[in-house]
Structure 1
């Protein structure tokens, strides 16, 4: 099927896909390392629960800067150069982790290392407000509509394969040496620069003839005005973002709690955590090509309902592990019966959400608007990241795990209701890239 598809690609699509695939492959390795990042912070570095929630926030809170960057990205004349500078500035600091201490006693005596780690990871994630809108613009402009979801799905499948291999090997390394991250992260930084340099070579359409010389305040005003026009004038997209806001609160308020739950309640080791992450990613890889095609055929809001229902299920099965603790141990890996349901639901979520989150907004707009729409989507993601992770930890500290999980499921139900109501009442005209 894949070979048949590639034979029908234009020269531009083939060139773009080659670079896109290379970028996704390297990012798969990096994602495999970052998959255990929160667990490393709480288990090896003994960071606090609030610090853990802040660590998760960094991956999305940086999108708040899109209110400053949106007009800048739109008009910057040399986006290739911008991507390369971004790659260097945000990846080089990871090399500093090589000099971190290799024992918990020193880390606990010098908490400044926790804050330095958080700062380095924050700098790393500062690439996202630049890279995410631009890659959406690049792919939407270089792939035809009928190939967009399929090619993105294939590239994401490769990304997932490399991620799970990396997570598995990295988990074994961490069980052997809890401080293996001190030499893995510098390698990650070097590879991260290579991946962004590959991305920079994908042709990017110009959105402005020149970089306008405007004041900083005016740039912010233009960004806010542009985002407001999109939300105000595109009703289906507005509903899409409403639904994402409620889903996002549920996800962000529980993802950190699940990490704490693995450590404090189930007492899982690195290999066990890596096992669960790898198992649902293996199933996700098998689903991705199918789901990539499905997203290209149905309303993205219908696709969102399926995706949101999967997170409802995986939170539910995680919660039920509190009441049904039966498990077996295989070669040091603890396999809980209730977490099998969690794995199945998480596998669907892990295959559908990358598609919906990264390219879902592109189905609501013209090709040249894809970057702007994704900027709005990412900005709103950052807004909820300011409070959702910390509130999740506070809910857990006040009410415990079960009530926190129930609150999360309640918000998911609201998100599904918004999407169902929207696509029944407001039709969406899919704009194709002919």
Structure 2
């Protein structure tokens, strides 16, 4: 069922990665704060996900049913956006609402993976569904660009609405996962784990630095080549091909190997290697100055994204017991939401006043610092390798 769910999810992901922002730029010419808000709205959903997990503990319903309900609500946002071809405000509100609802269920899937996937092959199983999703994103990133040029965005956003409903149906068909009931809601109770688990706390700091760096550059991938101000001004199909198809092809080729690496290699080493790909890809994309550099940079970023996607989704399963994975992941998602709200605003401000090169250098520097923070753990892993063998 997770493989099946990956198909509509892959279609819907093109909205967040490319086409919601492309429509905002080329159809409505929305101001920078609106474009930044559309990108950040998914992060607002991650902020709210902290409270979603606590609510489930109080009311006792299954993780599956709450995830499905959020995706149904997301479909209403896409429908609203689809029915507003001449109303930029309604498009903005509908798109933001859809992304908020879709992201609010992010920690819930981690709880399902922890319950139903065996520890020794969790990374591999997750990578298979991620590969299916990436195949769909790659195909859709190219075909949707051609479609939107000819048909407009209304049919596309209705398709996104259907995709979220398909995701909801698939998760409801899975065996239900339930959390232990709580007598009262303590909205920020999950943050207690930060003080109790030093490794978890340190990795949250690492993720904050890394995430701010990555999300700052990620927010501008479409803007950089879709807005003529920065020298490219590509149309929808070319923009979709570069920002969705190319990175997803790289994702497809490397995601299963990353899954196997996650299962077999020490965590901190995997994190450092993924970071190297992120830094290199970002710098080449923004500083290369040619179409070839755009393609190479975004491909390297796609390789990093495939490993990063596995790490983002599954890393808490290494640091939490089965019952608490959802809470650990909700803290992680909440803080992802914090940086996800901040990063696009920073990105659009910096590029407006200092240009894209400054964004790239700032992004790469933050990723590098996040890697240096875990350098002691990486050294420790190498020292302990013979003992583990």
- Per the normalisation by structure 2, the TM-score is 0.90
Q: Give how far 1:348 is off.
A: 0.9
Q: Is 1:28 the equivalent of 2:10? A: yes
Taking a change above 3 Å as real, the CA distance of residues 188 and 116 of structure 1, as seen in their structure-2 partners, is same
2:237 to 271, 281, 293: 271
Q: Is 1:56 the equivalent of 2:39? A: yes
Taking a change above 3 Å as real, the CA distance of residues 396 and 289 of structure 1, as seen in their structure-2 partners, is same
The answer as to whether partners of 2:286 and 2:294 remain within 8 angstroms in 1 is no
Q: Distance in 2 between matches of 1:292 and 1:152?
A: 7
Q: Distance in 2 between matches of 1:226 and 1:132?
A: 15
1:146 to 117, 120, 143: 120
**1:77-96 correspondence runs (5 A):** 77-79=60-62, 80-96=64-80
Taking a change above 3 Å as real, the CA distance of residues 141 and 251 of structure 1, as seen in their structure-2 partners, is same
Q: Give how far 1:319 is off.
A: 2.6
**1:12-161 correspondence runs (5 A):** 19-36=1-18, 37-79=20-62, 80-101=64-85, 107=86, 113-128=87-102, 130-161=104-135
Residues 62-88 of structure 1, C-alpha deviations (whole Å, 9 max, x = no match):
222234333212343222443343232
Residue 154 of structure 2: aligned partner: 182
Q: Secondary structure at the match of 1:35?
A: helix
Q: Distance in 1 between matches of 2:199 and 2:378?
A: 8
Residues 240-275 of structure 1, C-alpha deviations (whole Å, 9 max, x = no match):
211110111112222223322212321111122222
Q: Is 1:246 the equivalent of 2:230? A: no
Q: Is 1:311 the equivalent of 2:278? A: yes
Q: Give how far 1:130 is off.
A: 4.4
2:358 to 398, 403, 425: 403
The answer as to whether partners of 2:12 and 2:160 remain within 8 angstroms in 1 is yes
Taking a change above 3 Å as real, the CA distance of residues 32 and 307 of structure 1, as seen in their structure-2 partners, is same
The answer as to whether partners of 1:239 and 1:422 remain within 8 angstroms in 2 is no
- Per the normalisation by structure 1, the TM-score is 0.81
The answer as to whether partners of 1:236 and 1:426 remain within 8 angstroms in 2 is no
- Report the RMSD for the aligned CA atoms in angstroms: 2.2
Residue 224 of structure 2: aligned partner: 261
Residue 11 of structure 1: aligned partner: none
Taking a change above 3 Å as real, the CA distance of residues 98 and 67 of structure 1, as seen in their structure-2 partners, is closer
Residue 231 of structure 1: aligned partner: 194
Q: Distance in 2 between matches of 1:95 and 1:158?
A: 25
Q: Give how far 1:426 is off.
A: 8.7
Q: Give how far 1:156 is off.
A: 0.6
Q: Secondary structure at the match of 1:115?
A: helix
Q: Give how far 1:129 is off.
A: 5.3
Taking a change above 3 Å as real, the CA distance of residues 284 and 81 of structure 1, as seen in their structure-2 partners, is closer
Q: Is 1:365 the equivalent of 2:365? A: no
Q: Secondary structure at the match of 1:119?
A: helix
Q: Secondary structure at the match of 1:284?
A: helix
Q: Distance in 1 between matches of 2:268 and 2:59?
A: 32
Q: Give how far 1:282 is off.
A: 1.2
The answer as to whether partners of 2:78 and 2:161 remain within 8 angstroms in 1 is yes
Q: Distance in 1 between matches of 2:37 and 2:139?
A: 27
Q: Distance in 1 between matches of 2:102 and 2:314?
A: 15
Q: Which has the larger radius of gyration?
A: 1
Which stretch of the first structure deviates more once superposed, 161-170 or 74-83? 74-83
Taking a change above 3 Å as real, the CA distance of residues 82 and 320 of structure 1, as seen in their structure-2 partners, is closer
The answer as to whether partners of 1:83 and 1:131 remain within 8 angstroms in 2 is yes
The answer as to whether partners of 1:314 and 1:341 remain within 8 angstroms in 2 is yes
The answer as to whether partners of 2:7 and 2:132 remain within 8 angstroms in 1 is yes
- Number of residue-to-residue matches in the alignment: 377
Q: Give how far 1:287 is off.
A: 0.8
Taking a change above 3 Å as real, the CA distance of residues 33 and 386 of structure 1, as seen in their structure-2 partners, is closer
